[in-house]
Amino acid sequence: MRVAVIADTHGLLRQETVDLIEGCDAVIHAGDVDTPDIYEKLKGQKPLYLVRGNNDGGWAGQLPESLRFELEGVPIFLIHNRKDIRGTGENVKLVIFGHSHKYSEEWAEGRCWLNPGSCGKRRFRLPLTMAAVTLLDGKIAAVERIDLENAEYGKNISPAAGCRETMPPEADRRKAVGRILRGMDKGETIAEMSLKWKLPQDFVEQVCRIRVTHPGVTAEGIVNKMEVNELRGR
């Protein structure tokens, strides 16, 4: 199942977005539709899952502020602003939000946190983006970032849970850990570093976790810690 994920259209439904939605089985909108006519257009295209954003007026009073639902066996939590989350539910595998107009994809403890960015009115010089998520047999098979100024399926696909690259050999682990530490300093996400360096997401996540819990640790120290954990069967 392929799902179009959009947010912050702000009264503008671009033709590129409409065309991409046509190739999907459902639409998820993380709020700030802005006008009821956009809502009606989206509702008439595909099954629609939608929450109210801070810029949605009185017409949107019927829309929920947050929504829990399931597609293809994947539990999903939808809200406009991530800061408003008070709880998602333990079994949720995909959390979708918007508001910032900035695309982001983060993986933590088997859960994907996805902001598709904005595909409506441009804010400053931020890119126009949306996402396409492939769900299969209760799992997130792939998450695809789509830049509308160069919209083309099959680009910018990140490996999802269960789609791993090969673990780096021991001789290359220190180099890989060093790259991850530099990526963390630049603010790169686990998914971005995994895709960039062709590393398993669980390996990247483990490195990030050790660094956070052991401030000041070096790349060599992290490798040693990982080896100890492996010997302990952890």
CATH code that applies to domain 2-158: 3.60.21.10
pLDDT for residue 90 is more than 90:
no
Q: Which residue has the higher pLDDT, 62 or 191?
A: 62
pLDDT for residue 157 is more than 60:
no
The proportion of the chain whose per-residue pLDDT surpasses 90, expressed as a percent, equals: 46
pLDDT at residue number 201:
74
pLDDT for residue 169 is more than 70:
no
**Burial annotation 46-82 (CB, 10 A radius, 16+ → b, else e):** beebbbbbebbeeebeebeebbeeebbebbbbbbbbb
Residue 44, exposed/middle/buried by CB under 10 A (0-12, 13-18, 19+)? exposed
Question: With bands split at pLDDT 50, 70 and 90, how would you rate the model's confidence at 200?
Answer: confident
Q: Which residue has the higher pLDDT, 231 or 6?
A: 6
The ranges assigned to domains in the chain are 2-158, 170-228
Q: What is the arithmetic mean of pLDDT over 156-176?
A: 58
Q: Please tell me whether the overall predicted TM-score, pTM, comes out greater than 0.75 for this model.
A: no
Average pLDDT, the chain: 85
Q: Which two tokens stand for residue 52?
A: 């109210």
Q: Which residue has the higher pLDDT, 41 or 199?
A: 41
pLDDT at residue number 92:
96
Q: Which two tokens stand for residue 217?
A: 């640790």
pLDDT digits (tens, 9 = 90+) for 49-89: 999 999 898 889 999 999 999 999 999 999 999 999 988 87
| Contact between residue 141 and residue 163 where contact means Cβ atoms under 8 Å apart | yes
pLDDT digits (tens, 9 = 90+) for 127-149: 899 999 999 889 999 999 998 87
Question: With bands split at pLDDT 50, 70 and 90, how would you rate the model's confidence at 231?
Answer: low
pLDDT at residue number 234:
47
pLDDT digits (tens, 9 = 90+) for 101-130: 999 999 998 899 999 999 988 776 778 999
pLDDT for residue 152 is more than 50:
no
| Contact between residue 231 and residue 195 where contact means Cβ atoms under 8 Å apart | no
Question: With bands split at pLDDT 50, 70 and 90, how would you rate the model's confidence at 150?
Answer: low
For residues 10 and 24, what is the distance between their CA atoms, to the nearest angstrom?
Answer: 22
